[in-house]
Structure 1
Amino acid sequence: MALKPAFGLQQTQSLVMTPQLLQSIKLLQFNNVELDQYISSEIERNPLLTRDDGPAPESNVIELRPRNDAEAMSERLDTSLENLFPDDPGRRDPISPDLSAQWRSASGAGPSTSSDGDWNPEAFVATPQTLRDVLQEQILLIFKEPAERFLALHLADSLEDSGYLTDFDELPARTGASRAELEKVLFKLQQNIEPAGLFARNLSECLAIQLRAKGRLDPAMQALLQNLDLLARRDFASLRKICGVDESDLVDMLSEIRMLDPKPGTAFLSEGSEPITPDVIVSAAPDGTWRVELNEEAVPRVLVDQSYCAKVSAKSGKQDQTFISECLQNANWLVRALDQRSKSILKVASEIVRQQDAFLVHGVNHLRPLKLKTIADLVGMHESTVSRITANKFMMTPRGVFEMRYFFTAAIAAADGGDAHSAEAVRNRIRQLIDQETAENVLSDDALVDILKEEGVDIARRTVAKYREAMSIPSSVQRRREKRARIAQK
């Protein structure tokens, strides 16, 4: 049979996503900052779009009757100080294996300005000095020789934000200077630059520079700095033997180290943390209901300028008519897409509030296990849609601001066959038990398992160890050593 080109007709079925559908999916997963930037770009491109600064529609508010509505909300809500906000799962232990994370430097705050046009005295605060500005001023005074000054400035440019010089071995090839010349300049910088600790090549050297400046770098302290790995493991017995000191002297040495700054360069960082703008606000009403509403600041709204569209259409030609028609179509689509996005977020948030009513009333120990599929089935959406809605969205509740994903936790079986427990609630309970420890009664992982099983939580020892390590809590042996050291210090 000979091969030759021919025309044929074939019928197939396929799922095609239109550009409008793709943009709708993007709008769902945008956070409020990304959404505002997207709307601003659309307003610049489309002359028929304008922002709507009017009051929010009533459809942006839902009042829920919680599942536990036997008594008024003001009487049910547990607002004790220790239960107002759950423990931060990312909180670091005072002494962690990562020694450089034990201390926090005070980062400088940049000047603030008024956003509403009012006179603000803080707007006239001088711009804070950067690390390079501070170093350049001191280098010009310390070094008189042009060659040394050039190398010193090059070393300053190579510093990380933390103040460390981690690529020192690469500098001879980049500068053309010998290693001996660079080490001479580096030593002079370490001895004279303020704050002390800059230009260190590792944590041990950073602490040594600061102790030398205070006149406290004796042989015992040098031995301690050379064995920071033992300090991370809280092996105080080995440290006493290596340093040749007794327990009280070791406690004093550790107290001095805790007063040092492991990252002296971060004090000159002016970037402040961006405040979180919640997308949904949940408040309690005295009649026992929850009020769930969209935050107007996080949900920008747009309008289609119909009068301007009619005016331009009446005076435009055929080509302009096509452009105006496309603009009108895109504007109407964007308004509908934003409205659908708001309704979807409010719908999902309301169902989360309904499912996690006990958490809002009593605290993190009453957080229920919850899956995305459960919410998806209840609100009639696909699981992937709920995932996009809850990504990078925040909810402000009487217990603080939480990412919407926070309310979705795995389930841990109950020991008595009852309702399952939330993994987040179990983690919080583990931290509470460890916080209540004393030096004479430090709980091992097995002891934690036994206590949790008595409280109705069926959990394995390896799961307890995994949760404890995820919260940066050391083992029972390390905790016992640290508690005894603190008692000895007192």
Structure 2
Amino acid sequence: MALSASLHLRQTQSLVMTPQLMQSIQLLQMTHLELSQFIAIEVEKNPLLEFSSGDGAPEFDGGASFERDTGSDAHPEDHDSDRRPSQTERLSEALDGGFDNVYQDDSGPRKADAPELLTQWKSMPGSLGESGEAYDLDDFVAGQVTLKEHVAQQVPFLLHDPVEILVARHLTDMLDDAGYIEQALDEVAATLGKDTASVERILIQLQSLDPPGIFARSLGECLALQLKARDRFDPAMQALVKNLELLARRDFQSLKKLCGVDEEDLLDMLAEIRTLDPKPGSGFESSATESVVPDVIIQAAPDGGWMVELNPETLPRVLVNQEYYQHVSTTASHDDTDQSFLTECLQTANWLTRSLDQRAKTIMKVATEIVRQQDAFLTRGIDHLRPLNLKTVADAIKMHESTVSRVTSNKYMLTPRGLFELKYFFTVSIAAVEGGEAHSAESVRHRIRVMIQGEEPEKVLSDDDIVDSLKAAGIDLARRTVAKYREAMNIPSSVQRRREKRAAAKVGAA
């Protein structure tokens, strides 16, 4: 067969992931904090983008109301950037206006004293005025002292040798959030070029600092340090601290023999142990506490349904400054590089606003469908949480499962029953007895938790008893599944629960 060159014309279709499409997908799974940081970077890079002032700004409406078993999509408002002044104009108005009215009672210019300046500052917009509005409380929050700072303030009163102070600082830097030293002392000594005995001697001195129990190398040592500070570390308590694994298994008979005490004394010792802090360093915050801000808010509608709204605090407020673009396009030089830069900035700005609007619509659709599916949960509680998966929601709103998964990641919904992550409403389906309606795994776990909490010391339920009770309620669940759910909720076995409940009952009776 002879080789020959030929020309063929072929037409094919393919899906290409452009950078803008990939960025749009990433916007879906961003939290509102990550989204705010991303928008701030884009506004800094793009001169055509600006933050909205929030007063009548064109933005996504973010609301939908529906009766039960029905839903409706939100309708975004149209953008009207021509009527809004640019960011530069607003800044100029804020800086150039009203200088003659600053000192209304003055006959001429003079230097104002401190009380008058304070009064003027309180009356300025955005400051701490008499109305108590227009200021951020976070600006007045005192700084939090960390555990390492708290310990470092005490070291100079304990140690005086400069070398020992340097070793103490190194050990302080090694403290974890709970107040423990995890690295071995021989490794620390090798790093500092000191012998292990001297480092251990300094460590023992540091263990006397506040809070009691810090610089411990194990849980037993942490509890022992706190007992020594209370002068309660007698031989019986020392034996109890050395056998914490028996305490974890509720093996009270073995503990009584090892400690050489009777049952009443052992109960008193256990009550003493419960008052100790296993993590003495947890009372100091290592980072600022951030509250969870809901992305979706659910409220009861007057017609008996539910009203779904996007939280205005999480909605991005960014506009495209068309007026500035027209001004620069007409007055700037007709250089190809400048025109290309302006065109690219305009395309990027328009794409970002469309992507943000589409993101809000998608979140709204997913949240509305979740509320429609979980209407019984919102009305009657967790026992009526329905089994739900991503495919059910995706088919209802005609989107892909991956899109729904990205939308529900790190997003929260505020409902009349509390604040929940969107993924909380997606649970595994558990079959019912004799082909009844399926049950949600989360509601079944709640049933198990309630049954165990209502146990009596002499009638502790075993896993088989729980299976029988669930079957009587129409839930078909295997014993191994009950054990798996119980362990996931950190609930001990029936033997350990019986020991603990009996001990607690005796303590209460005493």
Residue 61 (structure 1) aligns with: 63
Amino acid of the structure 2 residue aligned with 1:473: I
Taking a change above 3 Å as real, the CA distance of residues 481 and 142 of structure 1, as seen in their structure-2 partners, is same
Tell me, in whole angstroms, the C-alpha distance in 1 between the residues paired with 2:178 and 2:65. Answer: 49
Structure 2 counterpart of 1:148: 164
Distance 1:472 1:116 in 2: 49
Equivalent in 176, 180, 192 of residue 175 of structure 1: 192
Match of 1:197, SS state, is coil
Q: Would you say the 8 A contact 1:371–1:408 is kept in 2?
A: yes
Q: What secondary structure does 1:225 align onto?
A: helix
For 2:255, the equivalent position in structure 1 comes to: 239
1:300 aligns with 2:316: yes
Shift, 1:116, TM fit: 5.9
* 2:177 corresponds to 1:161: yes
CA-to-aligned-CA distance 1:241-261 (integer Å, 9 cap, x gap)? 111111111111111111111
Q: Is it true that 1:189 corresponds to 2:191 in the alignment?
A: no
Q: Distance in 2 between matches of 1:9 and 1:34?
A: 49
- Structure 2: how far apart are the matches of 1:125 and 1:346? 35
Secondary structure in 1 aligned to 2:413? strand
Classify 1:133/1:385 alpha carbon distance in 2 versus 1 (closer, same or farther; 3 Å). closer
Taking the TM superposition and a 5 Å limit, the aligned residue runs for 1:15-26 are 15-26=15-26
Counterpart position of 1:273: 289
Q: How does 1:204-243 map to 2 (within 5 A)?
A: 204-243=220-259
Q: CA deviation at 1:239?
A: 0.9
Letter in 2 for 1:60: G
SS at match of 2:414: strand
Structure 2 residue aligned with 1:455: 473
Distance between the aligned counterparts of 1:163 and 1:195, measured in 2? 9
The residue identity in structure 2 corresponding to 1:237 is Q
- Contact preservation (8 Å) 1:56, 1:296: no
Contact 2:295/2:412, CA 8 A, preserved across alignment: yes
Report the CA distance between 1:263 and its aligned residue. Answer: 1.6
Counterparts of residues 463-474 of structure 1 (less than 5 Å)? 463-474=481-492
**Quick one: distance in 1 between partners of 2:462 and 2:70?**
37
Higher mean alpha-carbon deviation, 57-66 vs 245-254, is at 57-66
CA displacement 1:339-365 (0-9 Å, x = unmatched): 111111111111111110000000000
Which secondary structure state, in structure 2, belongs to the residue aligned with residue 286 of structure 1? Answer: coil
Opposite residue 130 of structure 1, the aligned amino acid is T
Query: Greater relative contact order: 1 or 2 (C-alpha under 8 angstroms, separation 6 or more)?
Result: 1
The 1:183/1:216 distance shift into structure 2, 3 A limit, reads same
Kindly report which structure 2 residues correspond to 1:44-83, keeping only aligned pairs within 5 A, or say none. Answer: 44-52=44-52, 53=54, 54=56, 59-67=61-69
Partners of 2:67 and 2:303 within 8 A in 1: no
1:341-393, CA deviations, whole angstroms, 9 ceiling, x for partnerless residues?
11111111111111100000000000000010011111000111111111111
What SS does the corresponding residue of 1:359 show, helix, strand or coil?
Answer: helix
The correspondence of residues 63-462 of structure 1 with structure 2, limited to 5 A, is 63-67=65-69, 117-118=127-128, 127-167=143-183, 168-190=185-207, 192-316=208-332, 317-318=334-335, 319-462=337-480
What is the CA–CA distance in structure 2 between the aligned matches of 1:439 and 1:173, rounded to whole Å? 54
**Number of the residue aligned with 2:496:** 478
Deviates more, 1:192-201 or 1:148-157: 148-157
Alignment size in residue pairs: 443
In structure 2, do the counterparts of structure 1 residues 437 and 336 end up closer, same or farther at CA, with 3 Å as the change threshold?
A: same
Preserved contact between residue 325 and residue 342 of structure 2 (Cα < 8 Å) = yes
Structure label with greater radius of gyration: 2
**Identity across the alignment (%):** 57
Take 2:296 and 2:329, find their aligned partners in 1: how far apart are those partners? Answer: 40
TM-score (norm 2): 0.82
Q: CA deviation at 1:145?
A: 2.9
Which stretch has the larger CA shift, 354-363 or 142-151? Answer: 142-151
CA distance in 2: counterparts of 1:244 and 1:266, whole angstroms: 34
SS of match in other structure, 1:255? helix
Which whole-Å deviations, capped at 9, do the CAs of 1:233-290 have from their partners, x for residues lacking one? 1111111111111111111111111111112122222534311111111100232121
Contact persistence 1:356–1:368 (CA under 8 A): yes
Aligned Cα root-mean-square deviation (Å): 2.5
- Displacement of 1:19 in angstroms is 1.5
SS of 1:466's partner is: helix
Residues in 2 aligned to 1:131 and 1:331: alpha-carbon distance in whole angstroms: 45
Q: SS of 2:265's equivalent? A: helix
What is the TM-score with the length of structure 1 in the denominator? 0.85
C-alpha deviation, 1:7, in angstroms:
10
State the shift of 1:58 in Å: 7.3
Alpha-carbon separation, structure 1, partners of 2:205 and 2:244: 25
Partners in 1 of 2:20 and 2:138 — Cα distance?
A: 45
- Which has the larger displacement, 136-145 or 456-465? 136-145
Q: Is the 8 A contact 2:147 2:286 kept in 1?
A: no
Q: Which residue of 1 aligns with 2:112?
A: none
- Residue 135 of structure 1: how far off its partner (Å): 2.4
| Structure 2: distance between partners of 1:211 and 1:39 | 53
Do the aligned partners of residues 9 and 139 (structure 1) sit closer, same or farther apart at CA in structure 2, a change above 3 Å counting? Answer: farther
Q: CA deviation at 1:416?
A: 2.5
Question: Match for 1:224: what amino acid?
Answer: L
C-alpha distance in 2 between matches for 1:128 and 1:58:
38
- The answer as to whether partners of 1:68 and 1:357 remain within 8 angstroms in 2 is no
Deviation at 1:225, TM superposition (A): 0.6
User: Is the contact between residue 430 and residue 439 of structure 2 (CA under 8 Å) also seen in structure 1?
Assistant: yes
Distance in 2 (CA, whole Å) between partners of 1:347 and 1:301 is 20
Distance 1:404 1:301, change over 3 A: same
| Deviation, structure 1 residue 155 | 2.1
Give yes or no for contact 2:148–2:175 (8 Å, CA) kept in 1. Answer: no
TM-superposed deviation, 1:484: 0.6
Indicate the SS of the match to 1:361. helix
Distance 2:149 2:300 in 1: 51
Task: Decide which moves more: 453-462 or 22-31.
Answer: 22-31
Q: Distance in 2 between matches of 1:380 and 1:196?
A: 59
1:55 deviation in Å? 5.4
Q: What letter is aligned with 1:173?
A: A
Amino acid at match of 2:188: L
For 2:405 and 2:251, the matched residues in 1 are separated by 45
In structure 2, give the amino acid aligned to 1:188.
Q
